[in-house]
Structure 1
Amino acid sequence: MAVLILFLLISLTYILTIHACPKCGSMDVPYPLSTNNNCGNRNYSVYCNNGTLEFLSAAGFYYQILSINPSAYKLIIRPPAIQKSTCQSSDLALGGLRLDENSPFNISSHNTVMLLNCSETILLSPLNCSSNSLCRQFEEKVEGGSSCRDALCCTYLKDASMTSHRIRVRVGGCTAYTSVVYLKPGDSIDSWHYGIELQWLPPN
Structure 2
Amino acid sequence: MASVIVFLFILATQVSAFRVCPKCGKIRVPYPLSTDENCGDPRYRIYCNNGTVLEFMSAPGFYYKILSINPWTNRLVISPPLIQENTCYSTDLGVGGLQLDENLPFNISTRNTVMLFNCSDNILLSPLNCSSSSFCRQFVDVKEGYGCKGTLCCHFLKDASMTSHRIRVRLGGCTAYTSVVDKQPDDPIEFWNFGIELQWLPPF
| TM-score, with length taken from structure 2 | 0.91
Partner of 2:134: 133
Counterparts of 1:84 and 1:128 in 2: how far apart (Å)? Answer: 25
Partner deviation per Cα, 1:160-179 (whole Å, 9 max, x = no partner):
00000000000000000000
Any conservation in 1 of the 2:112–2:158 contact (CA below 8 Å)? yes
Partner of 1:197: 197
Partner of 2:170: 170
Counterparts of 1:189 and 1:202 in 2: how far apart (Å)? Answer: 33
Q: Once the two structures are aligned, what percentage of the paired residues are identical?
A: 65
Any conservation in 2 of the 1:16–1:31 contact (CA below 8 Å)? no
Q: 1:13 to 1:169 in 2, by over 3 A?
A: farther
Counterparts of 2:21 and 2:111 in 1: how far apart (Å)? Answer: 27
Any conservation in 2 of the 1:114–1:134 contact (CA below 8 Å)? yes
State the Cα distance separating 1:158 from its structure 2 match. Answer: 0.5
Structure 1's consecutive aligned runs of 4 or more residues displaced over 6 angstroms after TM superposition are: none
CA-based RMSD of the aligned residues comes to: 2.0
User: How many aligned positions are there?
Assistant: 198
Partner of 2:94: 93
State the Cα distance separating 1:68 from its structure 2 match. Answer: 0.3
More strand by share: 1
Partner of 1:105: 106
| TM-score, with length taken from structure 1 | 0.91
| Aligned amino acid, residue 195 of structure 2 | G
State the Cα distance separating 1:17 from its structure 2 match. Answer: 8.1
Partner deviation per Cα, 1:59-113 (whole Å, 9 max, x = no partner):
1100000000011000000000000121100000000000001110000000000
Partner of 1:81: 82
Structure 1 gap segments, 5+ residues each: none
| Aligned amino acid, residue 100 of structure 1 | D
Structure 2 gap segments, 5+ residues each: none
